[in-house]
A and B are shown apart, each in its own frame.
Chain A
Amino acid sequence: MSREGLVNAALLLALVAVPGWALWADAPFTITLATRAVIFALAAVGLNIALGMGGLVSLGHAVFFGIGGYAMGILASHAQNYTPLMEWPFEIAGTKSMPVIWLVAVLASGLAALLIGLLSLRTSGVYFIMITLAFGQMMYFFAISWPAYGGEDGLSIYVRNGFPGLNTLDPIQFYGLCFGLLCLVLVLHARLMRSPFGLALNAARQVPERVRAVGLDPVRLQLVALVISGAITGLAGALFADLNRFVSPTMLSWQMSGEIMVFVIIGGVARLFGPVAGAGFYVLLEHLLGGVSEYWQIFLGLFLLLVVLFGKGGLVGVLAGRARHD
């Protein structure tokens, strides 16, 4: 097994061992923290597909995260109040079933990624960063001032949504669901990396001319990557909303986009387990530093600086050494 393989295995082991220990020691909050880390990791895996494989620096992934969150909030609030979502041309009721909500979240955020991608991929470099930021701000202001679904107050769901055969209110069972989804998406990401599509996308990032020369359209490849990426981040958004039993426009803010990006970078861009390491470490840091000082964000900032300046390749990079050049 390569060094990176060992690091990945250790990370996986930690994701099983920590909640396992918490269950044994009866420390439910540790499970909640771990769930938060796993969901953030899932969102960041989404971004990592666009960023690491496609080279698309999106500062607007909060859009997909928020759409996923609102998919959950809107469906569940209609189910909670027994009001139909839509009466014409046919009636659609809300739902409290997680699989249905996940499906809607994935489809809605994938669609949003398609639309945003169609417009944004006309630009590149800094302009791409900024136009994705602009779409994020657009959604954010819309969500704040549109009164139908709570505006800035957001939507509160009183009971966590259900999954057939599980009691989702039990922290460890909900954690298991999130962890399972993360593993599934990681497998998908690993297969994508080795697939013809992944190789072509990689080539499109490095030498677009050659990709064009063999008859492939680099922009189309990037668009597909962005849609997959947005859909995964959207799924994470639905889970995050369910974890908090609450959704609000903060999920759409540019700081949220920045944080998702931070998870990827401190973990290691284009590394399969980079987002997992990054999100886990961030949640841990936030939890530990928050108790130390009111001004803990200074230390967070200093730490991020150190990672960028000296920790090339992020945490996974530091632990596993240089990546293979492929």
Chain B
Amino acid sequence: MSIRTLLAAASLAALAASAQAEVKVGMITTLSGGGASLGIDTRDGFLLAMQKAGRDDVEVIVEDDQQKPDVAVQIADKMIQSEKVDILTGIVWSNLAMAVVPAATAQGKFYLSTNAAPAQLAGKGCNPNYFAVSYQNDNLHEAAGAYAKSEGFTKPFIMAPNYPAGQDSLNGFKRFYGGELAGEVYTKLGQTDYASEIAQIRASGADSIFFFLPGGMGISFLKQFADSGVDLPVMGPAFSFDQNILQAVGDAALGVKNGSNWSKDLDNEANAAFVSGFEEAYGRLPSLYAAYGYDTANLLLSALDKAEPSDAEAFRAALKEAAFDSVRGEFSFDTNQHPIQDIYIREVIQEGDVFTNKIVATALEDRSSAYVEECSMK
């Protein structure tokens, strides 16, 4: 993190503390360890929106969950029991969300998800106090599946780590692709060498590749794939091609198609203001996570204009309206309180020295989620 970010965050914290706060928001996110860049962007996006709004009646408390579920639970307990927050937000990872969200909503707190939105919470486990502002976990994979179908690929090779999010990813892809596969492989979580998978891809006669390998795994795979001499179209969800890791992948990512519900070149006023504001405040381009953080804060502010969180019914109705200018353009909530939104295909490009994305197609229009029918809220 740059010194400027630190200063910005510090001044904001000071600002929040000095004011007479009426609403307390607890942000639990990952600020240390290997996954810190995602949480830092979430926080920075969220705080940027707060700062722009200049509201002094909202206090944001940010704490580091170290990417550990038990620490996240402990922080949630602290925020609820001793800080008496009204709203929780900020968790990046699905396993941490599953540890915190059911208990928090059961205690009557609101939870607004800036990223993780596992299937359980979108279907049977949906809750009137839980809103996913980002997406439903399967969405970006579904977009890649729809794109594979529309491009006329007939033998994609698909790959993800062997854990629930990985299994959801491949299922999401297959849901919208629906055709034959050249191969389906589950890798080890945290795996760093993909020589053996690349050999399988080469031997499988695949005509394209879809993969979901978040964080360092994706960087490793792309570098090794680019150097393997296998030349096939590559697709994936946006996570492995986002602003916070593209620079580390370099040339190897150029031309990759990825499913995303946000891109920095999305043409709307809110997005232009967000991208330039973020660059100005922090000296770097925003990522997907920053965009979700920013949208979540704006949704929250729009609801606070209409109702107090203490009046749960009214506040919930105000959230549900989604009366804010999303950086993603058109945005509304379905009955399970997950977004209905367009999902795009982006291509990785180079702008000067910087690697980034541009939108090349719309894969799914007004996409909701696969689990909406299982949710009892109507």
Contact = CB atoms under 8 A, between A and B. Distances in A.
The reply, when asked whether chain A contacts chain B directly with Cβ atoms under 8 A, is: yes
Interface stretch (A56-64, A89-97, A143-151, A304-312): A143-151
B162 A246 contact: no
B164 A147 contact: yes
Contacts of A153: 94-95, 98, 118, 120, 163-165
B70 A294 contact: no
Contacts of B120: 153
B91 to A, nearest CB: 13
Contacts of A154: 69, 95, 98-99
Interface stretch (A26-34, A181-189, A210-218): A26-34
Contact of A28 (B81, B163, B186): B81
B8 to A, nearest CB: 14
Nearest to A27: B82
Interface stretch (B71-79, B177-185, B306-314, B350-358): B71-79
B342 interface: no
B345 interface: no
A171 B68 CA distance: 22
A156 B99 contact: yes
Given A156-B102, A245-B103, A294-B32, A151 B78 contact: no
Interface in B69-111: 69-70, 73-74, 77-78, 81-82, 94-95, 98-99, 102-103, 106
Interface string A238-282: 001000111010110000000000000000000000000000000
Interface string B29-50: 0011000000000000000000
Contacts of A156: 98-99, 102-103
Contact of A246 (B70, B94, B106): B70
Nearest to A145: B162
A124 interface: no
Counting chain A CB atoms within 10 Å of each CB, the highest count among B1, B31, B74 belongs to B74
Q: Is the interface of A mostly helix, strand, loop or mixed?
A: helix
Give the size category of B's interface with A: 20 to 34
A32 to B, nearest CB: 5
A29 B99 contact: no
B347 interface: no
A171 B31 CA distance: 28
Contacts of B164: 147, 150-153
Given A32-B78, A150-B164, A248 B99 contact: yes
Among B1, B68, B188, chain A packs the most CB atoms within 10 A around the CB of: B68
A205 interface: no
B2 to A, nearest CB: 13
B82 A28 contact: yes
A158 B107 CA distance: 10
Nearest to A171: B81
A277 B107 CA distance: 33
A150 B95 CA distance: 9
B106 A152 contact: no
Interface residues of A, number: 32
B362 interface: no
B95 A248 contact: yes
Nearest to A286: B71
Contacts, number: 87
B377 interface: no
A257 to B, nearest CB: 14
Interface in A128-159: 141, 144-145, 147, 150-154, 156, 158-159
Contacts of A29: 77-78, 81-82
Contacts of B167: 147, 151
Contact of A244 (B82, B95, B99): B99
A295 interface: yes
Contacts of B74: 32-33, 36, 244
B77 A250 contact: no
Contacts of B165: 152-153
A152 B95 CA distance: 6
B128 to A, nearest CB: 15
A169 to B, nearest CB: 10
Nearest to A248: B69
Interface string A293-306: 01111000000000
B63 interface: yes
B31 A244 contact: no
Contacts of A180: none
Contacts of B78: 29, 32
Nearest to B125: A156
A176 interface: no
A36 to B, nearest CB: 7
Nearest to B67: A250
Contacts of B63: 290
Nearest to B97: A153
B189 interface: yes
Q: Which of B69, B73, B189 has the most CB of A within 10 A?
A: B69
B130 to A, nearest CB: 13
A324 B31 CA distance: 45
A117 B186 CA distance: 32
Nearest to B63: A290
A111 B1 CA distance: 48
A295 B32 contact: yes
The 3 closest A-B pairs by CB, nearest first: A29-B82, A152-B163, A246-B99
19 contacts: A28-B81, A29-B78, A29-B81, A32-B74, A33-B74, A36-B74, A144-B162, A145-B162, A147-B167, A150-B164, A152-B165, A153-B118, A153-B164, A154-B95, A154-B98, A156-B102, A156-B103, A294-B31, A297-B32
Interface of B: 1, 31-32, 63-64, 68-70, 73-74, 77-78, 81-82, 94-95, 98-99, 102-103, 106, 118, 120, 162-165, 167, 186, 188-189
Given A30-B82, A154-B69, A290-B64, 9 more contacts: A32-B81, A144-B163, A145-B162, A151-B164, A151-B167, A246-B99, A248-B69, A290-B63, A297-B32
